[in-house]
A and B are shown apart, each in its own frame.
Chain A
């Protein structure tokens, strides 16, 4: 069975259940035509994560980010209402706000000095007397707002498609896992200061795959597993007992399992000592009080890696990471990683969280550089797609239930990607 046809009439996926095959055309990582379709059919139509509420905590706070290829200015106005705009001057296109973050009541473009309020309206411009009195009556000289802006439990998203279904519907079953993160705090989560900003010379979809791919763990990351064993006294490396992989619908996927690592909320490991154990026990007790034993156990002990289609990853593992990856060209993406933690956490708890994060995660950790290496060599190979044309993501195909090391969530990603790319439309 072949599905997915583009202008050159070649299929992008090759699915054959009788042989347990799920193959992805490698030209999907290379061809500019596909990249263009992704920008219009995926990044212009899906809900895209922009920021966590704690990054714009106070009135007048703002951040600027390039998301899905679009420069976005995201802010809270003086009343605390969240707003999002294309960070492009309506006059001649210069970047309106050139700082990464800050606090401002208005924004002045450097080029000709047009000034915009937090409501996006043009407040003033030099030589105003030379413009017609009704020059901006139609609002065409205001900042262009993003058509839809919404949040789920502090995670803010925008959508460039005014007709797209609501965020909560789009997230669907992924909300259950966002809940699992946010419920770890009694007062709310916060992004901890310090952003890991890096890049990979590879196609953005390779990071989507990698983020929900546990299969590669033992083979690609033995040095991290060695480190854990020598450091934490953990007994069962990569213990996936009871672990499962789920297709969450809409292209989202998750792998939930028991990792070998300690979790600041709230799974103790011997390396944290007796005082650490008392602290972790207290956190665990409070969770049990709030949610009952069963849910508290899941919140405390279970790890998950989740992809929210197309380019947001939330990993609730030895620490919590919010990772986004933005396509720049078919062979280059920009990544951003933040560490998320309960706002009430400080001292040794916070230190544990940060240590856990940078040991494994991030471009100088004991694992991520090896992921990047694998991805970049794969991207290099795809130049030869005419001769070696297909990627395989078949592991677990014949099974009714996906184990934690199967590739089911990756197939969910590709199926949604293919559906959107090949859907009739512009």
Chain B
């Protein structure tokens, strides 16, 4: 049940997620998601809660496309990420934001640094999670990454997982 999920549990979960991304354990990362899930990064000129069914996003993955995204990223032919970037996912301001239909809502602020070809780019914003218990384990039903940016400038891309 949602009320049994503590602040500490959520923080540990999010920090572990950040480690998985920094260590390029992307298949493990997909394992953090529920069977039915969404991973979203809205465009920066629309409201953060816009619907991907009627608005152009940067990323709007269901389970299938999320798995495919990771399969792609682990290939050497994902040229933008091979040789692989070094990333550092900083997570802070973790807050529980109540429940919806037994799921726990949580947010974290983030700064993600990506270094490749001697260039370091900084992505900043807020992750908004809908977390659920699936067979006793905490899983992500939805992750919405709301960029606190004016577009992807000068980054030019979200080639890894922000």
A-side interface residues toward B, CB under 8 Å? 100, 192-201, 220, 222-224, 226-227, 230-231, 332, 334, 338-339, 346, 350-351, 354-355, 357-359, 362-364, 366, 368-370, 372-374, 376-377, 380
A273 to B88, CA, bound (A): 41
Contact flags B36-68 to A (C-beta < 8 A → 1, else 0)? 000001111110001011111111100011001
Can you show 11 pairs from A to B with CB atoms below 8 A apart?
Answer: A195-B45, A196-B58, A197-B45, A198-B157, A201-B119, A223-B77, A231-B64, A338-B56, A350-B53, A363-B156, A370-B79
B46 touching A194 by the CB < 8 A rule? yes
Interface assignment of B78: CB less than 8 Å from any CB of chain A: yes
Q: Using a CB-CB cutoff of 8 Å, which residues 126-154 of chain B contact chain A?
A: 150-154
Give me 17 other A-B pairs in contact (C-beta within 8 A), A199-B153, A231-B68, A357-B56 excluded. A193-B55, A194-B56, A196-B151, A197-B45, A199-B154, A200-B156, A223-B75, A223-B77, A231-B65, A354-B56, A358-B56, A358-B59, A363-B58, A369-B158, A373-B80, A376-B156, A380-B117
A364 touching B158 by the CB < 8 A rule? yes
- With A194-B56, A195-B43, A199-B156 known as contacts, the answer to whether A366 contacts B72 (CB < 8 A) is yes
Interface assignment of B155: CB less than 8 Å from any CB of chain A: yes
5 interchain residue pairs of minimum CB distance: A197-B151, A194-B56, A369-B80, A369-B159, A364-B158
* Chain B residues whose CB sits within 8 angstroms of the CB of A364 once the complex forms: 41, 58-59, 157-159
Q: Name, among B46, B56, B158, the residue most crowded by chain A CB atoms within 10 Å (CB to CB).
A: B56
Cβ 8 A contact of B79, one of A194, A195, A338, A373: A373
- With A199-B153, A222-B77, A374-B79 known as contacts, the answer to whether A358 contacts B159 (CB < 8 A) is no
Cβ 8 A contact of B153, one of A197, A358, A377: A197
Interface assignment of B86: CB less than 8 Å from any CB of chain A: no
Closest chain-B Cβ to A391's Cβ sits at a distance in Å of 19
Interface assignment of B84: CB less than 8 Å from any CB of chain A: no
Closest chain-B Cβ to A354's Cβ sits at a distance in Å of 6
Q: Using a CB-CB cutoff of 8 Å, which residues 13-27 of chain B contact chain A?
A: none
* Chain B residues whose CB sits within 8 angstroms of the CB of A230 once the complex forms: 68
Closest chain-A Cβ to B116's Cβ sits at a distance in Å of 9
Cβ 8 A contact of A366, one of B69, B119, B152: B69
A125 to B99, CA, bound (A): 53
* Chain B residues whose CB sits within 8 angstroms of the CB of A227 once the complex forms: 68, 72
Cβ 8 A contact of A193, one of B41, B56, B68: B56
B43 touching A196 by the CB < 8 A rule? yes
* Chain A residues whose CB sits within 8 angstroms of the CB of B44 once the complex forms: 197
* Chain A residues whose CB sits within 8 angstroms of the CB of B150 once the complex forms: 197
- With A193-B46, A194-B46, A194-B57 known as contacts, the answer to whether A363 contacts B72 (CB < 8 A) is no
A370 to B50, CA, bound (A): 27
Closest chain-A Cβ to B90's Cβ sits at a distance in Å of 20
A358 touching B156 by the CB < 8 A rule? no
Closest chain-B Cβ to A99's Cβ sits at a distance in Å of 11
